[in-house]
Chain A
Amino acid sequence: MSDLKFLIVDDFSTMRRIIRNLLKEIGYTSADEAEDGVAALGKLKGGGFDFVVSDINMPNMNGFQLLQSIRADDSLKHLPVLMVTAESRKEDIVLAAQSGASGYIVKPFTKATLEEKLQKILQKIGKA
């Protein structure tokens, strides 16, 4: 469980750092970071990742586009993708779910919420 490798995608370094620290506290010490969808996709295609945690509102390629690219790629479509975002419009939440997001956390969030959603997703794919 604790050797799952996470990719944290957010254009604000403060937020990437917070999520990275929380993952460590929850027990996941292996994580890498990307500042937008383009950088994220590049890293994912290099292989070795088990889980993506992504913001939506980012330059160059936003979270929706990243999610859709992941689901459209045979080598990546199996990856769980948890959205962590300030986007709170109902149509955005529904769009994320329809595009194949594994979960949706709205900012500001708590450590307990992140842990809960993570466990829920991992249980579903049998890696809890």
Chain B
Amino acid sequence: MDISANAVQAAAPGEDSAKLYRRLGELVRSLHEALSELGYDGHIEAAVSSLPDAKSGLSYISRLTGEAAEKVLNAVDRAKADQDALAQAARGLAAGCDARAVTGFASQVVQTCERTDGHLTDIMMAQDFHDLTGQVTRRLIETVQRLERDLVVLLVEAAPGPARPAADAEQLHGPVTDAERRVDVVENQKQVDDLLDSLGF
């Protein structure tokens, strides 16, 4: 790229800034053409276009982990309240009881156990965030690795890099993190069932 040397020589002190800006403009245009010729503008494009996906992936992870934490804390609150009520009733019995109080207490224990079991199931189900965020994290790591490769190629200015795999060569995409932008996906189990019904499955 010879133009850089010429531009520097020609911009002697005292030349007005308009000419300087014009030379800078020429430099930028030549740089752009050189990148284009070597095929690097594709790398930049690919790097930039993978960013919206990466951003929505990170938002998704943040949302899911937050929701899971909330669900768990709510279930814990409810379970603790039930446990407290049961302990209170037991203290009352210990202080002095009759047959009816004992029977009443026994049935309260059973009900509380059933409710607590439900809360524990809720807490267990809330852990499903790990699977979903894990799939997105895996995809994000791949995106970041691709970005890194593309930027390294640009930095090193080596001979045209090895053939890059097509941006979305993988067929399986995992959880959808940007449903609002898409028409080719379903958003809940009811839509899955409706789709299959409509096709006779």
Contacts and interface: CB of A to CB of B under 8 A. Distances in A.
Nearest to A86: B175
Interface residues of A, number: 29
Nearest to A110: B125
Nearest to B67: A108
A123 interface: no
Interface in B176-196: 176, 184-189, 192, 195-196
Contacts of A110: 125
A108 B174 contact: no
Interface in A16-39: 18, 21, 25
A89 B199 contact: no
Given A14-B128, A15-B128, A93-B186, A87 B199 contact: no
A107 interface: yes
A15 B127 CA distance: 8
B128 A106 contact: no
A76 B118 CA distance: 36
Contact of A87 (B172, B188, B189): B172
Interface in B121-159: 121, 124-125, 127-128, 130-132, 134-135
B174 A104 contact: no
Contacts of A73: none
B173 interface: yes
B201 interface: yes
Contact of A104 (B128, B130, B196): B196
B172 A56 contact: yes
Contacts of A15: 128, 130-131
A106 B188 contact: yes
Contact of B174 (A21, A86, A90, A94): A86
29 contacts: A14-B127, A14-B130, A18-B128, A21-B121, A57-B174, A86-B131, A86-B135, A86-B174, A86-B175, A86-B176, A87-B172, A87-B174, A88-B175, A88-B186, A89-B184, A90-B185, A90-B186, A90-B195, A91-B184, A93-B195, A93-B196, A94-B195, A94-B199, A105-B189, A106-B189, A107-B128, A107-B132, A107-B175, A110-B125
Interface of A: 10, 12, 14-15, 18, 21, 25, 56-57, 62, 86-94, 97, 104-111, 113
For the complex of A and B, 6 pairs with smallest distance between CB atoms: A12-B131, A15-B131, A86-B175, A97-B201, A14-B130, A57-B172
